[in-house]
Amino acid sequence: MNRVKFVVRDDSPRATAVATRLAALLAENGVAVDDTDVDLVVAIGGDGTVLEAAAIAVRSGVPICGINVGRVGYLAEFGQDELTDLAEAISADTFLIRRRSTVSVSTGPHASSAINDVVVEKVISQRIIEVTVEINGRPLATYRTDGIIVASPLGSTAYSLSAGGPIVDPSLDALILTPIAPHSLLSRAIVLASDAVVTLTIVGDRPARINVDRHELCTVAPNEPITIRSGATFVEFLTLERRPFPHAVRENFGLDHA
């Protein structure tokens, strides 16, 4: 790899300092930091920065790696003490690439893809919505709820986890459907096959909002079907395989200190 792009958390002096140090290490190894014709996107920050960088990487057809300067940083594999090893691996191409699945959503004229999750949620904070869920054209359930999350395995540790969903190994291809604060007998998350097609329809007279990786896509009216499935594109992560899945879970959720 000869050229990389940085995406840096702009409100963090520590992220800026890490970017400056990494750029110098890369330059020593013959790798330039640039914004055009890049071979890799490097995110320096927390998970929000990795999501921003991942969207750029997918559009550019190149892999991504994340350096964590936040607290949890589940999506960022590298620590600040690994910059030298990372720079050497980038310059020598001594790394592995791991492909992670995405989630796509479409409704009416609107369509988008998510790295972490698609969330269909209430617009009026004091009032829940009623959502019917179909899987592959077959009825599953009708939820009275604050919303429905459909997450990728990579996104299982984000909003889905806080809503009671499972932690899923990101190497799997699957969809995780998690209701948010449901008033329903079926309150557990459901893990679906990667080829499942999820159709959500709002019942009644209350609209809903679709958020894609925390960014609003659109507002949907009742009876307008929302189709969610695994995305046609993948995110490719550069890795040195130093943090296998069990280690990442223990480290990022503080289990080593429990």
User: At 226, phi and psi to the nearest 5?
Assistant: -120, 120
- Residue 126 shares a structural domain with residue 57: no
- Residue 7 shares a structural domain with residue 35: yes
- Residue 63 shares a structural domain with residue 128: no
Bridge pairing between strands 197-203 and 226-239: antiparallel
Give the domain CATH number at 184.
Answer: 2.60.200.30
Q: If you ran DSSP here, which 8-state letter would residue 115 be given? A: S
The pTM of this model reads 0.90
pLDDT-derived band of residue 258, with 50, 70 and 90 as boundaries?
low
Give the domain CATH number at 28.
Answer: 3.40.50.10330
Task: Spot the catalytic one: 34, 35, 47, 117.
Answer: 47
d(CA 42, CA 15): 12
pLDDT-derived band of residue 87, with 50, 70 and 90 as boundaries?
very high
Give 185-206 pLDDT, tens digit per residue.
788 999 999 999 999 999 988 9
- Closest C-alpha to 194, from 135, 140, 112: 135
- Residue 107 shares a structural domain with residue 219: yes
- Closest C-alpha to 42, from 23, 66, 26, 76: 66
- Residue 18 shares a structural domain with residue 87: yes
- Residue 126 shares a structural domain with residue 218: yes
Of the candidate ranges 107-116, 172-181, 244-253, the one whose mean pLDDT is the lowest? 244-253
| Whether 4 contacts 90, CB under 8 Å | yes
Please give the residue range of the domain that contains residue 222: 102-233
* Token pair belonging to 147: 């919303």
Give 2-49 pLDDT, tens digit per residue.
899 999 988 889 999 999 999 999 999 999 999 888 999 999 998 889
Question: Where would I find the beta strands (DSSP E) of 123-243?
Answer: 129-135, 138-145, 147-151, 174-180, 190-193, 197-203, 208-212, 215-220, 226-239
List Cβ neighbours of 141 (8 Å cut-off, separation of 6 or more). Answer: 132, 133, 184, 186
| Whether 37 contacts 6, CB under 8 Å | no
- To the query of whether residue 47 is one of the catalytic residues in this protein, the response is yes
Position 47 scores a pLDDT of 86
Q: Does position 61 have pLDDT exceeding 80, yes or no? A: yes
Q: What is the 3-state secondary structure (H, E, C) of 17-86?
A: HHHHHHHHHHHHCCCEECCCCCCEEEEEECHHHHHHHHHHHHHHCCCEEEEECCCCCCCCCECHHHHHHH
